[in-house]
Chains A and B, each alone.
Chain A
Amino acid sequence: MLRKTLAVATAVSAVFSGAGILMSAGPAMAQNEQFIPGLVYRTGPYAPNGIPFADGVSDYVSLINERDGGINGVKLIFEECETGYATDKGVECYERLKGNGPTGAAYFSPLSTGITFALTEKVPGDKIPLLTLGYGRSESRNGAVFPWNFIAVGSYWTAADVAIQHVAKELGGFDKLKGKKISLVYHDSPYGKEPIAALEARAKLNGFTFKAIPVTHPGVEQKSQWLGIRQDRPDYVLLWGWGVMNSTAIKEAAAVAYPRDKIIGVWWSGAEPDVIPAGDQATGYKALLLQHPAGEFGVHADVKKSLFDKGKGVGKATVATVLYNRGLINSMLGVEAIRTAQKKYGNKPLTGEQVRWGFENLDLSEARLKELGFEGMLKPIKLTCTDHQGADLARVHQWDGKAWKVISDFYTADRSVLDPMVAEHSAKYAAEKKITPRDCSKEG
């Protein structure tokens, strides 16, 4: 009987103490602080890719605090929440963090297409911008319909278009694409399905045969897909994987002797954790670059000096890898959006709505990027009310067994193909959700 009493007591006390903690989540904050939330995944099957990105995001925010004392004197407060790449956990994290700080969260970057889709439904109500750097809804480029989504630097449709352009270049011209077979091995989720529409449009335009081959989450089981590829012998395979799925795909490709240099991954399938587990088998594998490569640039010297040398920062193990660098860019765009918005609203903590104005008027010139230490990582980018993407550039890099080597110049995605798709799909979304598109000519 004593044990049962103990069990009752445990249960009751667990519920009460926990409830107390849940409810006390409204800490007093100093006034001159801007809160930036971090939805991260440092555990689970996607952690190998989630960790370097989260490190980069966190280190850049720390750098702004340590080196500059914040943005124009407004200190940044950063807090992470573990999503495990799960949509419902991501939504819980979003609800937990959105109200923190004196003015609420400045913006969210979930690094998950699934969470992005769910949050796209929530951010208009909460008035918080959603920065999705190279992922998320491709049609959210249209800021008139998606005022709160900022798919900065590139969308999956951009990626699909650039990948086909690179294939055409390797073959010797767009006319050579005719009759060729290109297959897409994709993560069976909104993330993996996004490029299909763009690739189908390209297939119609250039006359190649396109085939989409799904891989179930988390992607450790893809033998049958690659056996199918061995039978089918496509000329090129595009890989839209994430986490452990990428290295598995490369290993399976090697097992069926599919040439690795005929595989082109998206920019989320082209980082160190994707190739290193596959060992020598990954040599020759190519992937797109979301403009920036791995390696050190101007900003890294500052990160080392202001953070690592003082025993601060979290990314000592992942610094200068592809995804770490992307994390830096993610935070840099967010910080610069806040800085832009401060010019209009004053040097104080800003609300999500004000930061949104900052994103919409973000204009990073060559000189400004050099000043920030991002020269060579990012080309000038300008976001507007109508264009929430701001850039159409991507490159290709190749794994030589030890490091990623950039093997191409910048490609520009063909907007004459993609813009009608953005217009069509965003109009469909607007009709579904009964949104009246904003008139961008009237936005100040």
Chain B
Amino acid sequence: MLYREAGQFKTTYSADMAIFPIRQDRIALYALLVFVFIGVPLLARFQIWPLGSDYMLRAILIPFLILSLAAIGVNILIGYCGQISLGSGAFMAIGAYSAYKFGTGIHIPLAWFGTEISIAPLPLIVSILLGGLMSAVVGILFGVPSLRIKGLYLAVATLAAQFFFDWVFLRVQWFTNYAPSGSVNAPELSIFGYLINSPIERYVLCLTFVTVFALIAKNLVRGNIGRQWMAIRDMDIAAELMGIRPLYAKLTAFAVSSFIVGVAGALWAFVYLGSWEPLAFNIDRSLQLLFMVIIGGLGSILGSFLGAAFILILPIMLDQIPHALGIPVGVETVSHLVFVVTGSLICYLLIVEPHGFARLWSITKERLRLWPYPY
């Protein structure tokens, strides 16, 4: 009844091509943006339920935002371009370690030439973006095989990236600034001299990154390049015959995807963990991101958020249910139950709706348009 577009006439091309052509959607989105940018920090500032302690911000919202960003990146590659990748964790690691190197200053002694490359520590935002750029460069490199190998074979090739970079960041001490333990600490987070320390500031920083990149990603996939990606995904031979260059389309998908994943990796390391080791970006992280996009919905920006919420937050919630209800069970039983319940829910959802949460969401919207009539 409320959600109906009857009477909304589009008189310009730009109105027709808006991201959200339906007015109710736009209003909902603006309301959401106002809430997350102003409402959440205000609630947290005055410690109003549900943000009474900084647990919600620091342990739920910040990791959720960062992993959503990573999931958007993975979704561009897997969901939009159809190139299965198991190396997302590695690209996060490249983003994190490159940002760390840029943030703490780079010294490459070139003894043979009697000189050295020396870069002073760069500001936070620049080093995070450069971390993404490094990740994009490596992404293009590892995307080259995708021109020859397809499907699951490509997944195995990207798996090589995962293990290779695990090894590099463990073994090559230059990346960790020769830390004796191999664990590195993020430099302090400051933007133009303003120190980012409190959870609210960290949340706003992540939120800004996520909003900007989600907007960029959404516009990319709606535009020319996004259509090329989707054509390649649906049938690469047909796409080629239609004049789409697979080299360009596939490599741009790898580049954009790795860039976003790399930025997410840098945020994960700098803003969420603060101190990390390569284990933070191991194969489990890659698989976690893959599950996020599959459950959230392949080829959907919204799905990346929903998938990230499901994979990240559901286990944490399940973990706390017995304690919150006052049921005396051991932590080991709870964590086994979490595995069982999460696993069964994933199976159930994928059987009922193989296209993930994004599809469920669009079905709900269809229904809402008709409501209260059945047809």
A residues near B (Cβ < 8 Å) are 3-4, 6-8, 10-11, 14-15, 18-19, 21-26, 40, 42-43, 47, 79-82, 84, 87-88, 91-92, 95-96, 99, 113-114, 117-118, 120-122, 125, 137, 188-190, 193-194, 196-197, 214, 217, 314, 425, 429, 432-434
Type the 1/0 row for B44-72, where 1 means its CB is closer than 8 Å to any CB of A: 00000110111110111001000000000
The answer to whether B280 touches A87, judged by C-beta atoms less than 8 angstroms apart, is yes
Type the 1/0 row for B251-290, where 1 means its CB is closer than 8 Å to any CB of A: 0000000000000000000001111110110100000000
Chain B residues positioned under 8 Å from A114 (CB to CB): 183, 277, 279
From residue 331 to 375 of chain B, which have CB atoms closer than 8 A to chain A?
331-332, 334-336, 345, 348-349, 352-353, 357, 360, 363-364
Cα A92 to Cα B182 with chains together (Å): 22
Q: Which residue of A lies closest to B60 (CB)?
A: A22
Apart from A42-B332, A114-B183, 10 more pairs, CB < 8 Å: A18-B318, A21-B324, A23-B56, A43-B332, A82-B319, A82-B335, A87-B276, A190-B183, A196-B180, A214-B170
The answer to whether A194 touches B180, judged by C-beta atoms less than 8 angstroms apart, is yes
The answer to whether B59 touches A96, judged by C-beta atoms less than 8 angstroms apart, is yes
Chain A residues positioned under 8 Å from B49 (CB to CB): 23, 26
Other-chain contact of B273, A24, A26, A118 (Cβ < 8 Å) = A118
Cα A118 to Cα B185 with chains together (Å): 8
Residue with the greatest number of chain B CB neighbours at <10 A, chosen from A43, A88, A214, A217 = A88
Please report the number of residue pairs spanning A and B whose Cβ atoms sit closer than 8 angstroms.
145
Can you list 28 A-B pairs, Cβ within 8 angstroms, ordered by A?
A4-B352, A8-B360, A11-B349, A18-B313, A21-B317, A22-B320, A23-B50, A25-B324, A26-B49, A42-B330, A42-B331, A47-B332, A80-B330, A80-B331, A92-B63, A95-B54, A95-B55, A96-B320, A114-B277, A117-B181, A118-B275, A121-B185, A122-B274, A189-B279, A193-B180, A196-B180, A429-B185, A432-B104
Given contacts A40-B331, A82-B334, A433-B188, contact A22 B360 (CB under 8 A): no
Other-chain contact of B317, A8, A22, A91, A314 (Cβ < 8 Å) = A22
Q: How far is the CB of B277 from chain A (nearest CB, A)?
A: 6
Cα A393 to Cα B212 with chains together (Å): 55
Other-chain contact of A91, B183, B273, B320, B364 (Cβ < 8 Å) = B273
Q: Which residue of B lies closest to A26 (CB)?
A: B52
Other-chain contact of B360, A11, A21, A87, A121 (Cβ < 8 Å) = A11
**B208 in the interface, Cβ–Cβ < 8 Å?**
no
Type the 1/0 row for B308-331, where 1 means its CB is closer than 8 Å to any CB of A: 010001101111110111000011
**B197 in the interface, Cβ–Cβ < 8 Å?**
yes
- What's the tally of chain B residues with a CB closer than 8 Å to chain A? 58
Q: How far is the CB of B358 from chain A (nearest CB, A)?
A: 12
Chain B residues positioned under 8 Å from A4 (CB to CB): 352-353, 360, 363
Q: How far is the CB of B355 from chain A (nearest CB, A)?
A: 11
Chain B residues positioned under 8 Å from A80 (CB to CB): 330-331
Cα A97 to Cα B280 with chains together (Å): 22
From residue 56 to 94 of chain B, which have CB atoms closer than 8 A to chain A?
56, 58-60, 63
Other-chain contact of B320, A25, A196, A434 (Cβ < 8 Å) = A25
Chain A residues positioned under 8 Å from B279 (CB to CB): 87, 114, 189, 217
Chain B residues positioned under 8 Å from A87 (CB to CB): 273, 276-277, 279-280
The answer to whether A96 touches B55, judged by C-beta atoms less than 8 angstroms apart, is yes
Interface majority SS (helix, strand, loop, mixed), chain B? helix
Q: How far is the CB of A262 from chain B (nearest CB, A)?
A: 26
Given contacts A3-B352, A7-B352, A95-B58, contact A82 B332 (CB under 8 A): yes
Residue with the greatest number of chain B CB neighbours at <10 A, chosen from A6, A95, A99 = A95
Cα A328 to Cα B353 with chains together (Å): 51
Q: Which residue of B lies closest to A24 (CB)?
A: B324
Q: How far is the CB of A371 from chain B (nearest CB, A)?
A: 32
The answer to whether A190 touches B182, judged by C-beta atoms less than 8 angstroms apart, is yes
Q: Which residue of A lies closest to B50 (CB)?
A: A23
Chain A residues positioned under 8 Å from B55 (CB to CB): 25, 95-96, 99
Cα A425 to Cα B58 with chains together (Å): 29
Chain A residues positioned under 8 Å from B56 (CB to CB): 22-23
Chain A residues positioned under 8 Å from B63 (CB to CB): 88, 92
Cα A101 to Cα B321 with chains together (Å): 19
Q: How far is the CB of A406 from chain B (nearest CB, A)?
A: 30
Chain A residues positioned under 8 Å from B185 (CB to CB): 117, 121, 429, 432-433
Q: Which residue of A lies closest to B55 (CB)?
A: A95
Given contacts A40-B331, A43-B335, A190-B181, contact A11 B357 (CB under 8 A): yes
Other-chain contact of B180, A22, A188, A425, A433 (Cβ < 8 Å) = A425
Cα A60 to Cα B21 with chains together (Å): 63
Q: How far is the CB of B307 from chain A (nearest CB, A)?
A: 12
Cα A21 to Cα B360 with chains together (Å): 24
Q: How far is the CB of A280 from chain B (nearest CB, A)?
A: 30
Q: How far is the CB of B50 from chain A (nearest CB, A)?
A: 3
Q: How far is the CB of B60 from chain A (nearest CB, A)?
A: 7
Chain B residues positioned under 8 Å from A197 (CB to CB): 180
Q: How far is the CB of A136 from chain B (nearest CB, A)?
A: 10
The answer to whether B324 touches A14, judged by C-beta atoms less than 8 angstroms apart, is no
Cα A190 to Cα B199 with chains together (Å): 27
Other-chain contact of B197, A84, A125, A190 (Cβ < 8 Å) = A125
Cα A45 to Cα B204 with chains together (Å): 37
Chain A residues positioned under 8 Å from B316 (CB to CB): 22, 92
Chain B residues positioned under 8 Å from A429 (CB to CB): 185
Q: Which residue of A lies closest to B273 (CB)?
A: A118
Chain B residues positioned under 8 Å from A96 (CB to CB): 55, 59, 320
Other-chain contact of A188, B170, B309, B364 (Cβ < 8 Å) = B170
Chain A residues positioned under 8 Å from B360 (CB to CB): 4, 7-8, 11
The answer to whether A43 touches B336, judged by C-beta atoms less than 8 angstroms apart, is yes
Chain A residues positioned under 8 Å from B319 (CB to CB): 82
Cα A59 to Cα B65 with chains together (Å): 39
Other-chain contact of B331, A23, A82, A95, A113 (Cβ < 8 Å) = A82
Cα A214 to Cα B182 with chains together (Å): 12
The answer to whether A18 touches B332, judged by C-beta atoms less than 8 angstroms apart, is no
